[in-house]
Structure 1
Amino acid sequence: MRVFVTGAAGFIGSEVVPELIGAGHSVLGLARNDANAKRLAELGAEIHRGDLTDLTSLRTGAEKADAVIHLAFIHDFSKFEENCAIDKAAIEAIGAVLAGTQKPLLTTGGLALMADGRSATEDDQPSPRLPRASEAATDALAERGIRASTVRLPQVHDPVKQGLITYVVQIAREKGVSPYIGEGKNRWPAAHVTDVARLYKLALEKGETGKKYHAVAEEGVTMREVAEVVGAGLKVPVVSISPEEAQGHFGWLAMFAGLDMPATSALTRKRLGWNPTGPGMIADLKAMKY
């Protein structure tokens, strides 16, 4: 297949592109600047210039492809709602081109606030406390003759980047302390970036309309474990702080820092034959150059 990939030059996209090419697909990668275009050319992808706010470029890219993987998102959490609206508009623009074709469309979601008191499954729906505009848009497209489905991401990591944990490290470095909230027993799911890339390929090739797939290798890494490894790496104190102190330390990240959000990928593994084998979150944090 010829696959149009948004976010192709990003952290995950840079692994997805060679994964697809290695499986015999060709990639048309969205590039918003010269640096991204250069990176994609090095990976063996064809370049398509544009960005998430250029809906014409998104439609044109989708028109040229047999399938679409939508990875791009504007990671400015100070404008989270605005960026979610941009994401929704991008999905709808791509969907307008694919409607009635039965072509695959893979979009990207998250795992926060999917279930309370247990591990979230692929059949769980997002909590009204944190609506997912992208999932809702994707589900609507699944009813318009598109093989649309969603990959829900945990903390995706390697020894350089670790999802939201990257910001945890930055804040600890700036403030000279690595805290966890309360007893630090709240858990975040995780997966190595190469395992996640392989899941996108499998979901593209074997995914079913309307399904949700969890890119979860580790069901839940405790935030106390994370804080202890980060503290050791930065050589700063590791301390417990109260929920009331979290906002002052974490800023915008406080809305996530205390969440317990374990998730399972049992259905994903069964449906797609996905078997993650990459290093764990703690191993990558220990290998990081602080």
Structure 2
Amino acid sequence: MRVLVTGSTGWIGSAVVTDLLAAGHHVLGLARSEASAERLRSRGAEPVLGDLDDLESLRRGVGSSDGVVHLANKHDWGNPAESDRAERAAVETMLGALTGSGRPFVIANGLSGIVEGRPALETDPSPAVGPGSDRGGSENLALDHAERGVRPVAVRFAPSVHGAGDWGFVAFLTAAARERGVSGYVDDGSALWSAVHRDDAARLVRLGLESAPGGTRLHAVAEEAVSTREIAEAIGASLGLPTTSVPAVDAAEHFGFVGHFFAASMTASSAHTRDLLGWDPIGPGLVEDIRTGAYARA
């Protein structure tokens, strides 16, 4: 299968490219620069020069593909409305090019905000609907196209997609610990996060692309609930730093933008995902990854 991957040189995307190539697929990777394009060529992928704002490059890439994996996002924390706008426009463009073709469209989303007070299930719809909502409501927009001749599949990623080289939430928490000289958790550290190793997440994306029915929601979750205190203690141990509680009112100052997320529980079940696709995560757990130096070496 010829697969267009947006975000192909990103943290998750680069692992997805590796997994797709190993499985015998031909990868077209969206590349914002010639340097990114060369990295893709060196790995055996075919670059498509463009970005999320270059809608013509997206149409061109979709037109040359048998399926799409959409992982890119601007993640502009200073201007989330712009990130949401760009996401909506890009997804509308790609879905428009796929309509009536029966080809798969795998779209990334997070678990934050899906439900409150319990682990999210694959049957829980995203509350983000319409252009003005989180990520421009792109998950629901995509899933609605199951009735328009597209095979859409939503993959919701755990808040920590971890491994050596990660520059996500845990990397920011590690950086804050280095800067402050102490590894913190918010209040009593009882907030819970789901987690998944990057290689397991990449394999799930491929399985979803290859065989998940249209309209499916998948959860890239290997560990359902790791306490934020456990995460902080593992970071402290890996850096040789003490661990302490940070009051919620001080979380933003202590941790930066990630403090808001570190104070909240973001958990989900992946039972249906595992049963549907036979997905069995085999990578190390989040605490093990941290304690064995995956972030201390960053």
Q: CA deviation at 1:207?
A: 1.0
Q: Would you say the 8 A contact 1:147–1:208 is kept in 2?
A: yes
Which moved further from structure 2: 169-178 or 36-45? 169-178
How far has the Cα of 1:113 moved from its partner? 2.3
Please say if 1:150 is aligned against 2:154. yes
Post-superposition shift, 1:41? 1.0
Deviations 1:38-94 (A, max 9, x none): 211122111110011111100110011010000111233222232122111111110
In structure 2, what is the Cα distance between the partners aligned to 1:80 and 1:275?
Answer: 34
Q: Does 1:232 align with 2:237?
A: yes
Q: 2: CA distance between counterparts of 1:163 and 1:257?
A: 12
User: Secondary structure in 1 aligned to 2:256?
Assistant: helix
Question: What is the match of residue 12 of structure 1?
Answer: 12
C-alpha RMSD over aligned residues: 1.7
Aligned to 1:257, which of 219, 239, 262? 262
SS where residue 105 of structure 1 aligns? strand
- Mapped pair 1:283 → 2:279: no
Compute the TM-score of the two structures, normalised by the length of structure 1.
0.95
Equivalent position amino acid for 2:201 in 1:
V
Structure 1: segments with no counterpart, 5+ residues:
none
Answering whether residue 155 of structure 2 is matched by residue 139 of structure 1, we say: no
Between Structure 1 and Structure 2, how many residues are aligned? 290
Q: Does 1:76 align with 2:81?
A: no
Per the TM alignment, residue 228 of structure 1 is displaced from its structure 2 partner at its CA by 0.8
* Distance of aligned partners of 1:7 and 1:128 in 2 relative to their CA distance in 1, 3 Å threshold: closer
The equivalent of 1:211 in structure 2 is: 216
Say if 1:158 and 1:284, in contact at 8 Å, map to a contact too. yes
The 2-side partners of 1:99 and 1:79 are apart by 31
Q: Which amino acid aligns with 2:284?
A: P
Q: Is the 8 A contact 2:153 2:209 kept in 1?
A: no
Structure 1 position 210, deviation (Å): 1.1
- Structure 1 residue 240: Cα displacement: 0.7
* Partner amino acid, structure 2, of 1:140: D
The percentage of aligned residue pairs carrying the same residue is: 43
Distance in 2 separating the partners of 1:222 and 1:86: 34
Match of residue 121 from structure 2: 121
CA distance in 1, matches of 2:146, 2:256: 37
Do the aligned residues in 2 keep the contact of 1:191 with 1:215 (CA within 8 Å)?
yes
Shift of 1:162: 6.0
Decide whether the 8 Å contact of 1:78 with 1:252 is kept in 2. no
Decide which moves more: 265-274 or 139-148. 139-148
Deviates more, 1:161-170 or 1:43-52: 161-170
Please show how residues 32-111 of structure 1 align to structure 2 within 5 Å: 32-111=32-111
For residues 237-288 of structure 1, the C-alpha deviation after alignment (integer angstroms, 9 at most, x for no partner) is 3111221121221232232111112111000001111111001111111222
The whole-number CA distance in structure 2 between the counterparts of 1:247 and 1:285 is 23
